[in-house]
Amino acid sequence: MRIMGLDFGAKTVGVAISDPLLITAQGIEIIRRKEENKLRRTLARIEELIEEYQVEEIVLGLPKNMNDTLGPRVEVTLEFKDKLERRTGLPVHMWDERLTTVAADKAMMEAGIRRENRREYVDQIAAVFILQGFLDLRSREQGED
């Protein structure tokens, strides 16, 4: 079993996949689209990855505002969640993604990746942070049982 993590943006979707033991998250790709509302190819690619990696659950970043309110981007993300659930039949968990992009950018900066190159990978790294946070929480909860 594997879990997929997604960082859903206006024109990109960062994708991460867990290892089979659900311990670590690895970034695998960034799905790019020309227009925000064009999701058919994006959903088709996600389905291909689900099959390839034998994914059984999805974690989707929820872009809340820093003051914990829900802005217009949250509504679009929740619509995407509904489409994912209908199309894949898999459960989609929401994960508070505040500061994941900042953390991803900082991690790349510390790794010495140049600023112009960081933009290319930030969504994929953010997906890793989203998924890893979910995996860590799940592991802690199972440890308490």
Residue ranges of domains in the chain:
2-144
- The structure's pTM equals 0.87
How far is the C-alpha of 6 from the C-alpha of 136, rounded, in Å? Answer: 16
Q: What was the pLDDT predicted at 142?
A: 82
Helix axes 115-144, 100-110, angle to 10 degrees: 120
Q: What was the pLDDT predicted at 101?
A: 66
For residue 109, pLDDT beyond 80: no
Provide the CATH number for the domain formed by 2-144 in this structure: 3.30.420.140
CA dist list (Å): 84 to 6, 60, 65, 78, 119: 11, 10, 23, 10, 26
More confident residue, 105 or 3: 3
Question: What average pLDDT does this structure show over 90-101?
Answer: 85
More confident residue, 27 or 140: 27
For residue 141, pLDDT beyond 90: no
Q: What was the pLDDT predicted at 105?
A: 67
For residue 113, pLDDT beyond 80: no
Q: Give per-residue pLDDT as tens, 33-89.
A: 887 778 999 999 999 999 999 999 999 999 876 777 777 888 999 999 999 999 999
Tell me phi and psi for residue 65, to 5 degrees.
-75, 160
